[in-house]
Structure 1
Amino acid sequence: MRFGVLGVVEAWIGGRSVELGHARQRCVLGVLLVEAGRPVTVDQLIDRVWGGSAPQRAAGALYSYLSRLRGAIAGADGVEVRREPGGYLLTVDPHAVDLHEFRDLSALARAAESDRAAADLFGRALELWRGEPFAGLDTPWLGATRRTLLGERFAAELDRNDVLLRLGRHAELLPALSAAIAEHPLDERLAGQAMLTLYRCGRQADADEQYRRIRRALADELGSDPGAALRRLHEQILAADPALDAAVAEPGGVVAAAAGTTPVPMQLPADVRAFTGRTEEIAALDRLLVAPGGAEPPLTVALLSGTAGVGKSALAVRWAQRVRDAFPDGQLYVNLRGYDTEQPVAVADALAGFLTALGVRGPEIPPGTDERAARYRSELTGRRMLVLLDNASSVEQVRPLLPGTGSCLVLVTSRDSLPGMVAVHGAERVNLDLLPLPDALGLLRKLIGARVDAEPAAARALAAACARLPLALRIAAELAAERADVPLAELVAELGDHRVRLDLLDAGGDPRAEVRAVFSWSYQNLPEAAARVFRLLGLHPGETAHVDAIAALTGVPAGEARRLLGVLTRASLVQAGRGGRYGMHDLLRVYAAELATGHDGETDRRAALTRLFDHYLTGAVAAMATLYPADAAAPGDPEAARAWIEAERPNLAAICTYGAAHGFHRHTIALAETLFRYLDAAGPVAEAATVTASAVSAARAIGDHGAQARALSHLGRLHRRQGRLHDAAATYRQALSRYAEVPDPAAEALVLRNLGSVDWRLGDYRQAADHYRRAWTLYEQLGDQAGQADALVRLGLVDARLGDHPQAVRRFEAALELYATLGDRFSEAYVLSLLARQPHHPAGLDRAAAHLEQSLGAVRRTGDRTAEAYALTDLAAVQARQGRLSEAAGQLRRALVLHRRIGDRASEAEALNDLGQVLRAAGDAVEARTQHGQALELAEEIGDRYETARAHHGLAAALHDTGDPAAAQPHHDRARQLFADLRVPAAPPVEQRQVRA
């Protein structure tokens, strides 16, 4: 017997259709088929079949339907509807139900070993669809389930498209893609597939037009631009990049991944030259590639552990490069610097780097570590990727970086054995010991050739002197190669002299002590100028540095710095990276810093770091002046300025943290203040908060109350954006206490209005009004009309919230006059929208809508996403009052996209409630319930009591509309209690919102 729900609900016995009765009876069977093998309670069946409009005798009717269904399927082997303690259960082979067979085939396709197999499986899965699920049946539950299943079908279609593109079968995709684009005009992945298909079919102009269509659609509907991956594909199409050509199938049926719309990060460092040995360890890692049986294997984690310099990173990179073809979706890499006492990589920063590599744009990266980790796991779901976490110090540093899918493999290197990784995460540990003597000699032979065989005893002594550690062997070999005329025995004796003279051996026999002797041997043979660069580079707080920064640090011209870095690179003391950047192994960094402490006086070291801080501060000031010019004629290339900041962000953050801890307080304050506007706008907010907190610490250390007040004001804003309202209020109050000691009326007024905004969110309206009045007084004393108007608007909002609408109107009208005098069209439009929403006020809705539409166009041209989000929500409120509910819902959805990208969680909760109210007014109570539910979760999390009350109020109304008064009552009671506690009237249809922060 077979059943179908992917179309009309049907059943067949022996190929003959079974009569299933009327619609309600087929609804019952549809519910049981979706839940096949799981009991469904009577209450659940009634709710899902009648959807809130159940008759009084619904249970009796249900029993009748179940009895008839039993009769219809009687005689079919292995199929039965029976009563269980938990409800009614349909026993059936899942493969006899098209829905479950579709899901199984799709899962097998995604796990297939070849693209040909995947294409066949996806084809079989999609052939099971006969139309819309549950066609002809309509209840709220079936409608929601139908939408979910259509989403699963669309996901399978997208995955199959990728497979067919990799197989070079683009021509057969065109008809289906055209229809899909019409149904999903905003889907960037689908658009990318269509562009690639058109391009491969020789229609480059049509591919270009497809990109332009989705770019226009995204701008019109969401106020956003295409993502980085789609933009990159468009550039490749315009350049006729050969990488876009169709892949050629290999004999085994596996094809190379063609360029597409999903980013494929390839972050692995370059393979190590003359890698030697480690065959057993590589074999152990190879065994991890053999996936265990089952459709969803657990995450595979490998742990390489061993002492410093033993070659963990080299082995990890060698193996990762060797097997990277097994990970077609890319490879991620981060050096966690876990044993750097000054600047280990923060987990949040590592996650931000990974998310960026995975195509997540900066404003979309969540602020908190947990949120970033969740987004990271989501981005990796279903991808076959290798993640290399180098130089980890603890399980806590690694755990948030673990994917949540068994399709990935994680390779961790650490000096620590990290037993928690094995016990909790099932990591397979591979221990690295010192190189065996034959392998150590083999490495020397690869590096210095026949001299090893010519002087075997000296070569063995050299390997022993280097503690058979690969890092030390390489450094020793470089020096031996430079002094090719000196016998190895003489070099070994020289190394012994250095070891005695430096007294680096300790009683414990730590191999790292031997390595330091080798370092000193190589260092002593450097020219003095290069030796000085090496020492000072150990002081740099960042992981890598550009040659210009190193020139500043050392006080030599950039050309000379580049030449000396070449000397250090050839001596294996420094590694050259891309784009003129240089770094060093962490052991070498520690050694270089020790040398600087011993050889360069405190004054010289301080001067070097001061030059470095000056370099970064000068660069930041220049970049910010270009990005935010005081006048239109400001020189500079904005893209170059943005690229400089993005490239140096890790160093800028490290400089601020280091500066606050090591006495560079003025530099830290100046750098944090300079960067604040960019970091606040571009995010991630958590990084901006770290930098700003460094400025607070630095200002407090030197007793600069003015700088402390400014930094606290900035930090308060960042806390508010993160939804940390109580922290924001406390931080703003600290700022006010500093301004009491160092008066700055304009800055104090700004803090007061921002503190009032937090009070507003927390539901303390009288306290908010007090802060707004104090801000208004300061603005009046300063003659700042814009500030006065802003304070009047905020006071009017408090009046309106508390029910005093006549007083609110008077304040709004006074603010409107000031904005008209100032020519501030955006603020004028906003106040008009507030007036239009006041009861019994003559201000026209049409006039307010016209102003807001003009304002919306203006802010879009400036690129101010925050202002655009507020304009959209204000326009939605006016359109809702006009009865234009569909348009209002569209504006609110666009605003939600922007609020989430910006990270304004309080405004997101407000917009969710607004959308829920508009949807309910439009008759879609089911979707309204969803929006209010999301608003409730967010508002409770951030402590916004008024939006919490609105969410409960909206949920109660939506649940009542969908026929569930029992579920509605607790929400109704909670809303009434909260509104009473806040001493405000219940929420109107679309509430007035806070003025832009």
Structure 2
Amino acid sequence: MAAEFGVLGVVEARIEGRHVDLGHARQRCVLGVLLVEAGRPVTMDQLIDRVWGERAPQRAAGALYSYLSRLRRAVACADGVEIRREPGGYLLTVDPRAVDLHRFRRLMTLARGAEADRSAADLIVQALSLWRGDPFAGLDTPWLSAMRRTLLGERFAAELDLNDALLRLGRHGELLPALSATVAEHPLDERLAGQAMLALYRCGRQADADEQYRRIRRCLADELGSDPGAALRRLHEQILAADPALGVPASAVPAGESRLSGPPPAAAVVVPTQLPADVRAFTGRTGELAALDRLLALPGGDEPPLTVALLSGTAGVGKSALAVRWAHRVRDAFPDGQLYVNLRGYDAEQPVAVAEALAGFLTALGVRGPEIPPGTDERAGRYRSELTGRRMLVLLDNASSVEQIRPLLPGTGSCLVLITSRDSLPGMVAVHGAERVNLDLLPLPDAIGLLRKLIDARVDREPAAAADLAAACARLPLALRIAAELAAERTDVPLAELVAELGDHQVRLDLLDAGGDPHAEVRAVFSWSYQNLPAGAARAFRLFGLHPGETAHVDAVAALTGAGSGEARRLLGVLGRASLVQAGPGGRYGMHDLLRAYAAELAIGHDSEADREAAVTRLFDHYLAGATAAMTTLYPDGAPPAGHVDAARAWIEAERPNLAAVCLHGAAHGRHRHTIALAETLFRYLDAGGPVAEAATVTASAVSAARAVGDREAQARALSNLGRLHRRQGRLHEAAETYHQALILYADLGEPAAEALVLRNLGSVDWRLGDYRQAADHYRRAWMLYRHLGDDAGQADALVRLGLIDARLGDHEQAAQRFGSALELYATLGDRFSEAYVLSLLARLPHRPAPLDRAAAHLEQSLATVQRTGDRTAEAYVLTDLAAVHARQGRLREASGHLRRAIVLHQRIGDRASEAEALNDLGQVLRAAGDTAEARVQHGQALDLAEEIGDRYERARAHDGIATALRDTGDADCARPHLDRARRIFADLKVPAAPAIGDPATTSGG
């Protein structure tokens, strides 16, 4: 029996296409080692080392004999496969072509030796298609982890080779989206940056190519202190000079005339590195660091438990500094990345919600925004899945409760979690086995040592005063740093005099109780430092405490204070030198949570309510104005995008957390108009490319704000937007409920145009749910409203959707009439884009004269237009339509290429329903082209998606496609249950069986 083995993903074995049970994780590790070394003996000592590392149990050899015996039985029926004992060790005999790793390497060798670029590209695509995920997914030993990193490097090199081949073939246009995403993940890779620059230049975007060069030059300078290499500098010079040598080689086949048959390049594995910068002048804590170091020695066993460390201690004692210092020391032990979140657990206003923290982690792990689940439990499950088998450090800073932490714990022992909290959190120790490291006040010698690092020789000149200063600061690092900065500013004042001054403040404020509360003492230090600020800086400090986000840009502080940007920068410089704020990259500043609370308290005591309200209003106006300007640049109405698109997108991305915080703060504190306006302004950006989960949170805050002020029109708009977000996430029943609420409001408000749009969207939800009667009713009602309003575009849209239902139900004559009427309306309106779409629908109708050439020509014009404007959603739909027309023309290779590009775009956008359709379409095209095995894979992926989002029609199409592919290979027994499921679903939906690619019944009504 034929066997296939895989390590480029989960370690697996298939015999005659059926999966073999390989046993538990340790046994799969053994097979993984033998597969990597296929045809070469592996000694017993090597096996033990590679399967257990330094944590091998005493009876490891006995366990290995048992594992090998079970593996022999598991593969015994496979032809040419044998595990046997040789003088040099254990040997797995297998055809290298049956192991995906060796096939991948063989294909890459052939590709790199190929004379023709087209042949090389085809071979690389075949090689990359073998990858199913991270190598040895779910398994973790030191040897496997090292091998995983090696193999991921090989895959990345293959992707770069494919990029070069595609560029030589003139395929820069279709390559550019994937290149842009990969460059963002590998900002220091010069070869990748050069590929992106060349693709941008050939797409007529010389300025963007220049900006790409400047971006990597800045990154190299900041991160490595070096300049770009000679090759990249030469390419940049050629781009600036518009060197003809950069044109598409004459031998290249024009893009659009043919497509590769394989999948798009695999995305590089995301390795997050979220740790904050290490702490300056860190001193002491050697015992605590040693205690943390001991946690790196994980216990033995097949499934090591999750290692959790808890740093607890009073506020300002240096928990975060210690955690960050240790995390940087050991980051090489966590090659799969480091995650960090400041949970702001003691922020009375806005502690970080667990769902928000999970969304941030998932984004850092490479999960696209639209794929982030809506609920906290679902996000926690996805988060644990993403971390399975990965060696990662997770730093949860400033946590306040076990409830805030528990969903953020990985489910795998390959990770280590480090938590900081002011509380002892006994539940973490009792339930999760956390190792607690308590931080007391710095020992006096260490406290003096920190002062010595910060203010140098003055400590040694006045040792007694230095000791008194350390004691006055309660030996808390935060207070010591602030006091030291003040001492550094006043070099002419003896330390003894400064200590006396601080003592006066402590007495005056009456902050010291009999127990010597360190919170009170650090507050006295804050007061002492604050009293020495110039008036302008003191006011800026107070108002900074009113900012709802974690960090603020100079411009935001300027808005808070009412000063210009230059003056705000100067004031922040004064606060930074006093250690009252911390400067970050990109002109951003942060503040310790104790200082933030103190600043807000001072603002209430010193600034009138009117002044505070004016400051927050200026801040919110600043964010609303910035978001409006950025959105106008990115999405101008009726005009090409204006200049500075990259700057606008960068501003929104940098300020996104603050914009969300402003919306939530505004809804909670009565600033409802700001919340409504900002949420509406941001909606299109978040809907198109931002995390859908974040978009839903912001939009829900707008619903609450609109209800609070009784603005029913704003409430209806926000509900309509929220319904769309639910629909994109596959939450169809919630989308329907939300749309119904919006529909009732619009009907009461007497806004028929908005009512018609919601009816149209409700019809799209019904379409997805398979309720075609209800969908037709909603589309028909929308058409009547559009007709009453004299809205020809709306009427045409409703007719098209009604025609799609007719086609799906098998009434092709009625569908043709509706499409024809819509086509006439679009022609009158001069809407060439919609004309092209309707022509593609007419071209798909069976048993009718098909205007295929005309449809293809219109669609190609539409494709050029949407690619020029950067509308990725429209581009994906046009590519799908063009694929259907080309399939009807018998141009299967072109159809396959269009669909593969559409799938990539749908994935990036997060349009999961359309992705399922395109996967099924691709399966049909591949089957028609004779690639039955690959067709089955595509239908399988479509089935998974359709089941997840509840799209029964695409589920039935996927089952039908899998059944047909299985029958084509002679496996009728396996095909039968899929065929039965497909027939049952089609019968339940009361629609004909799955049409071929090109039939409008396969087209989305959404």
TM-score where L is the length of structure 1 = 0.76
Structure-2 residue corresponding to 1:316: 323
Gap change, CA 1:422 and 1:874, over 3 Å in 2: farther
**Alpha-carbon contact 2:174-2:901 (below 8 Å) kept:** no
Cα distance in 1 between the residues matched to 2:331 and 2:460: 36
Structure-2 residue corresponding to 1:430: 437
Cα distance in 1 between the residues matched to 2:545 and 2:96: 58
Gap change, CA 1:739 and 1:102, over 3 Å in 2: farther
1:639 aligns with 2:646: yes
Q: State the shift of 1:305 in Å.
A: 2.3
Cα distance in 1 between the residues matched to 2:632 and 2:796: 29
Alignment of 1:776-787 (within 5 A): 776-787=783-794
Q: 1:184 aligns with which of 93, 110, 124?
A: 124
Gap change, CA 1:619 and 1:109, over 3 Å in 2: farther
Q: 2:477 aligns with which of 456, 470, 483?
A: 470
Q: Tell me the C-alpha RMSD between the 2 structures.
A: 4.7
Give 3-state SS (helix, strand or coil) of 1:606's partner. helix
Cα distance in 2 between the residues matched to 1:632 and 1:848: 26
Alignment of 1:343-742 (within 5 A): 343-347=350-354, 349-350=356-357, 386-395=393-402, 397-398=404-405, 409-419=416-426, 421-422=428-429, 427-449=434-456, 452=459, 459-484=466-491, 486=493, 488=495, 491-505=498-512, 510-630=517-637, 632=639, 636-742=643-749
Structure-2 residue corresponding to 1:116: none
Structure-2 residue corresponding to 1:9: none
Cα distance in 1 between the residues matched to 2:437 and 2:549: 30
Q: 1:851 aligns with which of 830, 855, 858?
A: 858
Identity fraction in percent: 73
Structure-2 residue corresponding to 1:76: none
1:216 aligns with 2:216: no
- Between stretches 517-526 and 628-637, larger displacement belongs to 628-637
Gap change, CA 1:651 and 1:211, over 3 Å in 2: farther
Cα distance in 2 between the residues matched to 1:107 and 1:886: 49
Q: Could you list the per-position Cα deviations for residues 314-343 of structure 1 after superposition, in whole angstroms to 9, with x for gaps in the alignment?
A: 112223344445556765543332322333
Q: 1:276 aligns with which of 270, 283, 292?
A: 283
Structure-2 residue corresponding to 1:153: 102
Q: 1:789 aligns with which of 784, 792, 796?
A: 796
Q: Could you list the per-position Cα deviations for residues 361-418 of structure 1 after superposition, in whole angstroms to 9, with x for gaps in the alignment?
A: 7778777767777777787788766544322334555566566776665433232344
**Alpha-carbon contact 2:121-2:165 (below 8 Å) kept:** no
Cα distance in 1 between the residues matched to 2:426 and 2:114: 52
Rg bigger for which structure? 1
Cα distance in 2 between the residues matched to 1:895 and 1:106: 45
Q: 1:977 aligns with which of 978, 984, 989?
A: 984
Q: State the shift of 1:733 in Å.
A: 1.0
Cα distance in 2 between the residues matched to 1:346 and 1:154: 46
Q: State the shift of 1:447 in Å.
A: 3.4
1:834 aligns with 2:783: no
Q: State the shift of 1:935 in Å.
A: 2.9
Cα distance in 1 between the residues matched to 2:850 and 2:693: 42
Give 3-state SS (helix, strand or coil) of 2:536's partner. helix
Gap change, CA 1:322 and 1:966, over 3 Å in 2: closer
Structure 1, unmatched stretches of 5+, are: 1-23, 52-83, 114-133, 139-144, 162-171, 200-205, 247-259
Q: State the shift of 1:722 in Å.
A: 0.6
Cα distance in 2 between the residues matched to 1:195 and 1:941: 30
Q: State the shift of 1:867 in Å.
A: 1.6
**Alpha-carbon contact 2:767-2:1005 (below 8 Å) kept:** no
- Between stretches 829-838 and 235-244, larger displacement belongs to 235-244
| Number of equivalent positions | 871
Cα distance in 1 between the residues matched to 2:346 and 2:852: 63
Q: State the shift of 1:947 in Å.
A: 2.5
Cα distance in 1 between the residues matched to 2:419 and 2:647: 35
Cα distance in 2 between the residues matched to 1:33 and 1:759: 41
1:287 aligns with 2:294: yes
Paired AA for residue 100 in structure 2: G
Q: State the shift of 1:558 in Å.
A: 2.0
Gap change, CA 1:346 and 1:932, over 3 Å in 2: same
Gap change, CA 1:101 and 1:289, over 3 Å in 2: farther
Structure-2 residue corresponding to 1:888: 895
Q: State the shift of 1:611 in Å.
A: 0.3
Structure-2 residue corresponding to 1:227: 182
Q: Could you list the per-position Cα deviations for residues 647-681 of structure 1 after superposition, in whole angstroms to 9, with x for gaps in the alignment?
A: 11111111111111111111111111111111111
Structure-1 residue corresponding to 2:246: none
Cα distance in 2 between the residues matched to 1:651 and 1:107: 51
Structure-2 residue corresponding to 1:770: 777
Q: State the shift of 1:555 in Å.
A: 1.2
- Between stretches 963-972 and 572-581, larger displacement belongs to 963-972
Cα distance in 2 between the residues matched to 1:781 and 1:735: 20
TM-score where L is the length of structure 2 = 0.76
Gap change, CA 1:147 and 1:344, over 3 Å in 2: farther
Q: State the shift of 1:761 in Å.
A: 0.9
Q: State the shift of 1:952 in Å.
A: 3.7
Gap change, CA 1:424 and 1:868, over 3 Å in 2: farther
Give 3-state SS (helix, strand or coil) of 2:345's partner. coil
Give 3-state SS (helix, strand or coil) of 1:573's partner. coil
**Alpha-carbon contact 1:749-1:778 (below 8 Å) kept:** yes
Structure-1 residue corresponding to 2:768: 761
Q: State the shift of 1:464 in Å.
A: 3.4
Q: Could you list the per-position Cα deviations for residues 469-518 of structure 1 after superposition, in whole angstroms to 9, with x for gaps in the alignment?
A: 11122223333444455555554454444445444456876432332222
**Alpha-carbon contact 1:329-1:385 (below 8 Å) kept:** yes
Cα distance in 1 between the residues matched to 2:889 and 2:423: 66
Q: State the shift of 1:929 in Å.
A: 4.0
Give 3-state SS (helix, strand or coil) of 1:545's partner. strand
Q: State the shift of 1:982 in Å.
A: 2.6
Give 3-state SS (helix, strand or coil) of 2:418's partner. strand
**Alpha-carbon contact 2:338-2:395 (below 8 Å) kept:** yes
Structure-1 residue corresponding to 2:870: 863
1:906 aligns with 2:846: no
Q: 1:801 aligns with which of 796, 799, 808?
A: 808
Paired AA for residue 737 in structure 1: I
Structure-2 residue corresponding to 1:250: none
Cα distance in 2 between the residues matched to 1:507 and 1:964: 84
Q: Could you list the per-position Cα deviations for residues 77-112 of structure 1 after superposition, in whole angstroms to 9, with x for gaps in the alignment?
A: xxxxxxx9x9xxx99x97996666579889989999
**Alpha-carbon contact 1:364-1:902 (below 8 Å) kept:** no
Gap change, CA 1:964 and 1:691, over 3 Å in 2: same
- Between stretches 830-839 and 501-510, larger displacement belongs to 501-510
Gap change, CA 1:112 and 1:32, over 3 Å in 2: closer
Cα distance in 2 between the residues matched to 1:243 and 1:322: 27
**Alpha-carbon contact 1:794-1:994 (below 8 Å) kept:** no
Q: State the shift of 1:233 in Å.
A: 2.6
Paired AA for residue 864 in structure 2: G
Gap change, CA 1:264 and 1:474, over 3 Å in 2: same
Give 3-state SS (helix, strand or coil) of 1:539's partner. coil
Gap change, CA 1:45 and 1:645, over 3 Å in 2: closer
